[in-house]
Amino acid sequence: MADRRSSAGKGVFSRWRKRRRTRREARQLIKEARRILRKYDHRIREDVAQEVRRAVKALREALSGGRFSVVRDSLEQLDELVDKHLAFGRKSALREYTESIGVAVLIALFLRAFVVEAFKIPSGSMIPTLEVGDHIFVNKFIYGFRIPFTNIKFLPFKKPRRGEVIVFVYPQDESKDFIKRIVAVEGDTVAFRDNRVIINGKPIKRRRLPGPCLYPETDEGSDRWQPRPCVAYEEKHNDIHYRVVHDLNEYPFPDRKPYKIPSGQLFVMGDNRDNSHDSRFWGTVPYDYIKGRAIIIWWSYGQPDGVRWSRFFTWIHSPPKLKAPNVEVPAP
């Protein structure tokens, strides 16, 4: 009894698939016949064109009526007419595949140029937010559409804000892309004192996270991965909060006098504060050099962990998880 029911179920499903395929072929044939009539109108006799149009109309009415037998018969009739009179205008299988692939490639290039682009993180300058081997998607239109192969932008949706992570063209070598966090925007005054960032005369709000803090780093002598001890803080810019790390037993970054960010420029830093080549060394980033805002980690693979399953589809503008659990307390 069970086998009979199973066979009956398979039969029903098979018939449903066949009818669905026939209806899809009917819609495609209608579209093809109309295309040929429109494109080669000067080559087709009027009586032939009228006969094909009647067959197209009959197939459309059959599709609306819902009777499968009528759809099948009408499809066969129209297919015979197209083969007999309009075969010169039909596309070969190779041409159809080529056109489909071409359209797909154009759509992919458009999305990559103006909407979303994928990047891979090559260094640890953004630890703990981004690790070596993280693959991310970048929103390329939020700060304005950038004309490919240029630094010209238009139609900006919003201005960059403090705390956002951006991908940009490295000002000192335009063949390279960098990823950093915005610390200050145009008009802000930046200074450094006691290893803290001072914006417009006020230190960035932060909380120290107690407990062990480690991140992986390669030893230059042995080329082996080893945990590097650090101190972790949570910093906050308005509604954006994130975590940064400072190495233990390292000299603090030298104090610097206040510096005002010029118009149309950004001051950026890595979240791995003692191991980041950023605006502290080579200056500010022009707005026009921004490629987009980093939004999500979609794949993560790198040494020494291998595949990092817990980082898949992690929103970048959310606080990252550290190597050891921490409890937030005010900094002393």
For the domain that residue 180 is a member of, what is the CATH number? 2.10.109.10
Is there a catalytic annotation at residue 180? yes
Structural domains in the chain (count): 2
On whether both 73 and 173 belong to a single domain, the answer is: no
Please give the share of the chain, as a percent, with pLDDT higher than 90: 32
Q: Would you state the structure tokens that stand for residue 98, as one six-digit string? A: 């080529």
Residue 134 zone, left/alpha/beta (φ > 0; ψ -120 to 50; rest):
beta
Asked, for residue 282, whether it belongs to a domain, the answer is yes
Active-site residue, from 74, 180, 291, 300? 180
Q: What pLDDT score does 254 carry?
A: 80
Is there a catalytic annotation at residue 125? yes
On whether both 310 and 208 belong to a single domain, the answer is: yes
- The pair phi, psi for residue 237, each rounded to 5°, is -120, 105
Could you read off the pLDDT of 186-201 as tens digits, one per residue? 999 999 988 889 999 9
On whether both 244 and 124 belong to a single domain, the answer is: yes
Query: Mean pLDDT, the chain, as a whole number?
Result: 83
Helix (H, G, I), strand (E, B) or coil at 297: strand
On whether both 84 and 164 belong to a single domain, the answer is: no
Could you read off the pLDDT of 236-255 as tens digits, one per residue? 887 888 999 998 866 677 87
Of 90, 125, 155, the one marking the end of a domain is: 90
Helix (H, G, I), strand (E, B) or coil at 186: coil
On whether both 141 and 54 belong to a single domain, the answer is: no
Could you read off the pLDDT of 115-172 as tens digits, one per residue? 788 999 998 899 999 998 999 999 988 887 777 666 666 666 788 999 999 999 999 9
What's the Rg (C-alpha) of the chain? Answer: 31
On whether both 81 and 118 belong to a single domain, the answer is: no
Asked, for residue 124, whether it belongs to a domain, the answer is yes
For residues 280 and 183, give the distance between their C-alpha atoms in angstroms, rounded to a whole number.
11
Residues contacting residue 148 through CB under 8 Å, at least 6 positions apart: 113
Q: Which helix (H) or strand (E) holds 161?
A: none
What is the maximum alpha-carbon separation in the chain?
Answer: 92
Task: Find out whether 243 and 253 touch, Cβ atoms under 8 Å.
Answer: no
Helix (H, G, I), strand (E, B) or coil at 178: strand
Helix (H, G, I), strand (E, B) or coil at 291: strand
On whether both 196 and 248 belong to a single domain, the answer is: yes
Task: Find out whether 229 and 247 touch, Cβ atoms under 8 Å.
Answer: yes
Of 57, 90, 123, the one marking the end of a domain is: 90
For residues 152 and 290, give the distance between their C-alpha atoms in angstroms, rounded to a whole number.
10
Q: Would you state the structure tokens that stand for residue 316, as one six-digit string? A: 């970048």
On whether both 200 and 301 belong to a single domain, the answer is: yes
Smallest CA-to-CA distance from 287 within 201, 175, 187 is with: 187
On whether both 156 and 286 belong to a single domain, the answer is: yes
Asked, for residue 104, whether it belongs to a domain, the answer is no
For residues 268 and 129, give the distance between their C-alpha atoms in angstroms, rounded to a whole number.
15
Cis status, amide bond into 229, omega within 30 of 0: no
Active-site residue, from 125, 276, 279, 300? 125
Asked, for residue 328, whether it belongs to a domain, the answer is no
Q: Regarding predicted confidence, which is higher, 56 or 157?
A: 56
On whether both 17 and 122 belong to a single domain, the answer is: no
Asked, for residue 96, whether it belongs to a domain, the answer is no
On whether both 74 and 196 belong to a single domain, the answer is: no
Look-up of token digits 């001051």: 267
- Domain ranges, residue 145: 113-315
Amino acid in position 4: R
Could you read off the pLDDT of 59-116 as tens digits, one per residue? 888 888 778 888 888 888 888 888 888 887 776 666 666 767 777 777 767 666 677 8
CATH number where 46 lies: 1.20.1270.10
Asked, for residue 185, whether it belongs to a domain, the answer is yes
On whether both 122 and 23 belong to a single domain, the answer is: no
For residues 192 and 261, give the distance between their C-alpha atoms in angstroms, rounded to a whole number.
14
For residues 310 and 77, give the distance between their C-alpha atoms in angstroms, rounded to a whole number.
57
Provide the CB-side half-sphere exposure for 183 (13 A, CA).
Answer: 32
Structure confidence at residue 331 as a pLDDT band (50, 70, 90): very low
Task: Find out whether 204 and 181 touch, Cβ atoms under 8 Å.
Answer: no
The DSSP string of 109-151 is: HHHHHHTEEEEE--SSTTTTTS-TTEEEEEESSTT-EE-TTS-
Asked, for residue 103, whether it belongs to a domain, the answer is no
Could you read off the pLDDT of 306-326 as tens digits, one per residue? 898 888 888 887 766 555 433
Amino acid in position 38: R
Angle between helices 46-65 and 2-39 (to 10 degrees): 150
Task: Find out whether 59 and 34 touch, Cβ atoms under 8 Å.
Answer: no
